[in-house]
Structure 1
Amino acid sequence: MKLIILFITLTGVFSHPLNYGEPRWTIAKDDEGKMHLLDLNPVDAEVEPAFDAWTDTFFLLFTRSNPTEGQRITWTRESLDQSHFRRGGQVRFLIHGWGGSATSGENPMTTREFLALGDYNVIVVDWSVGAGSANYITSRNRVGITGQVVARLIDYLDEIGFATHNNVNVIGISLGAHVSGHTGKNVQRGRINAIFGNDPAGPLFNINNPSDRLDIGDAEYTEAMHTNAGVLGFDEPITHSSFYPNFGRTQPGCGPDISGSCAHARSVFLYAESVNSNRFVARQCASYAEIVAENCPGTGVTAIMGGDSAKPIRGVFFLTTNAESPFAQG
């Protein structure tokens, strides 16, 4: 029997530019639970030309009239007139991450929560043709154009009087969080009400390049939940309010979690639970440095993590959660 030994550097991959001599490899789980070995050196990768975001991005509408079977909609009046879209109602876009699709677990789970909350139009964005590359870098490089496509639909809904931008929230996980940011950057007829980024992807995104990632200016209100900061998720605050459950790097109940995939995915469960819960009570830290030091005595200001509405809060927040559902402790 042949014995093959593979040496892989599993040191944390942080959200600064990669240089030679820094860790090049990591292991990550995609939205479907499959493990992948990632080469994080962008020098060796080229964008695959097979993905046309304008034809390969699909939108599935879920409402209380069709809570489990999505209707395919496009930016045509006929498509929308023939759908269950509730004109003038609240609209929630859900955007999956790398390796995901419309049927990825977070989408039906979060859709159920929104439809329990109100008679919403929930639109699941399926960019699986773009996000499904085995090469993470290829999928990462498709984030911007996908955001442009989502922005086009939001503008069209406003143009024909079906929805206004202030009734639109966008929720994205991992790479989908940055698609959400590009969506906000590219709308032309207004500003999105709120963007919620669930553990925005860290590898190959840079704190010094806000035009290429989720950023504070992408909506009237932006919020990020950091559950695997500095490994698979972005580490530093990049939104109006930034929540760091359990100090944001590891999560209770995840065990050793060497790849970070359990902690990364935890953001989805926390957000879904938060839609109909006001029990994720967090305290404001004086600075991000207190998160890094894992010492946040609090400033006296509290806030609710997640949920469904824009908030007047700003800053960095800490809270503890349970190891299993229900996760909220407040």
Structure 2
Amino acid sequence: MKFVVIILISLTFRELLSSPLYYDEPRWTIAKDDEGNMHLVDLNPVDAEVEPAFDAWTDTFFLLFTRSNPTVGQRITWTRESLEQSHFRRGGQVRFLIHGWGGSANDLGTTREFLELGDYNVIGVDWSVGAGSNNYITSRNRVGITGEVVARLIDFLDEIGFASHSNVNLIGHSLGSHVAGHTGKSVQRGRINAIFGTDPAGPLFNINNPSDRLDIGDAVYTEALHTNAGVLGFDEPITHSSFYPNFGRNQPGCGTDISGSCAHGRSTLFYRESINSDRFVARQCASYAEIVAQNCPGTGVTAIMGGDSAKPIRGVFFLTTNAESPFAQG
């Protein structure tokens, strides 16, 4: 009897993993969140109500890091008093870091790199109350409203003369990339300078619905680093420049990586290293089709992946990386 039960459980789990979503793609996947916890994720695109337990306007927190407080973030709000009593450097460059599913605002590695680069205001957007749901669909449905909250703070900084939109860059990982996109769509007083999406989330986002995801028009310059395209990350180009390290699906050093979580997370490590490095040299491909075919002979145009500045480049780019840090080969 016990043997029969084990067989039934095995068959049921196998059926779950093989349930079709699009074009015979698996309905279920095992994914790692930003904190390294593994989850069985249902990729079935069924609309789910936003849970009332999350109020983006009160449950989204902003932590300010500067050279005066590089390791312990100061909580700031959209009040003049809060900002004047903080270490915020008026008129300085501002970098927003937006985590993904299951993450938090304490990305001290990326914060450290920015503070080494310049005397910046680095703001961690903590929407972990919304992104911490075990249900990926629920967290995904909270992306839009969270972007509106971030946009409100950016507009307020401009309104009181603390920072202009031209000094603001957003860096979002996975679901956080689409939060950044919604932020760019929602600001009212200017255009954000640049958005960098590190492997923008793929499940439940559609190429034909740019109003609900990161898109080319969300900032003066937009860039995506695709490292697990077609699995946990979005596959097609959706930004001014789209970089596909190692053709964008699997990454050296990640082993078999069945869930794709290693390759997905590698995008943040690439971007972090790129902040103070110009060695991620990529060549432009003629089209996205060359990425899919894993054959990009190059057009003669080269570009640097990542970094901290808006760029005049446009198109799809390919590069190879090392299997471990330092990842850049250029």
TM-score scaled by structure 2?
0.95
Q: Partner of 2:142 in structure 1? A: 142
Cα deviations by residue, 1:63-92 (Å, 9 ceiling, x for unpaired): 000000100000000000000000000000
Partner amino acid, structure 2, of 1:30: D
Q: Partner of 2:315 in structure 1? A: 315
What is the aligned counterpart of 1:7 among 5, 14, 20? 14
The alignment partner of 1:169 has SS state of: strand
Cα deviations by residue, 1:252-289 (Å, 9 ceiling, x for unpaired): 00000000000000000000000000000000000000
Greater displacement, 18-27 / 257-266: 18-27
Distance 1:268 1:10, change over 3 A: farther
Unaligned runs of 5+ in 1: none
Q: Partner of 2:275 in structure 1? A: 275
| Equivalent residue runs for 1:1-330 within 5 Å | 3=6, 4-5=9-10, 6-8=13-15, 10=17, 18=21, 23-43=26-46, 45-103=48-106, 107-330=107-330
In the alignment, the residues of structure 2 paired with residue 44 and residue 211 of structure 1 have an alpha-carbon distance, to the nearest angstrom, of 17
In the alignment, the residues of structure 2 paired with residue 113 and residue 12 of structure 1 have an alpha-carbon distance, to the nearest angstrom, of 42
The alignment partner of 1:110 has SS state of: helix
Partner amino acid, structure 2, of 1:121: N
Q: Is the 8 A contact 2:19 2:27 kept in 1?
A: no
1:40, distance to aligned residue in structure 2 (A): 1.7
- Cα RMSD (Å) of the superposition? 1.6
The alignment partner of 2:303 has SS state of: strand
Distance 1:20 1:248, change over 3 A: closer
Unaligned runs of 5+ in 2: none
In the alignment, the residues of structure 1 paired with residue 234 and residue 220 of structure 2 have an alpha-carbon distance, to the nearest angstrom, of 21
In the alignment, the residues of structure 2 paired with residue 218 and residue 317 of structure 1 have an alpha-carbon distance, to the nearest angstrom, of 20
The alignment partner of 1:47 has SS state of: coil
In the alignment, the residues of structure 2 paired with residue 12 and residue 272 of structure 1 have an alpha-carbon distance, to the nearest angstrom, of 36
Distance 1:10 1:327, change over 3 A: farther
Q: Is the 8 A contact 2:19 2:28 kept in 1?
A: no
The alignment partner of 2:183 has SS state of: helix
Q: Is the 8 A contact 1:199 1:234 kept in 2?
A: yes
In the alignment, the residues of structure 2 paired with residue 100 and residue 234 of structure 1 have an alpha-carbon distance, to the nearest angstrom, of 19
Cα deviations by residue, 1:185-234 (Å, 9 ceiling, x for unpaired): 00000000000000000000000000000000000000000000000000
When the two structures are aligned, how many residues end up with a matched partner? 323
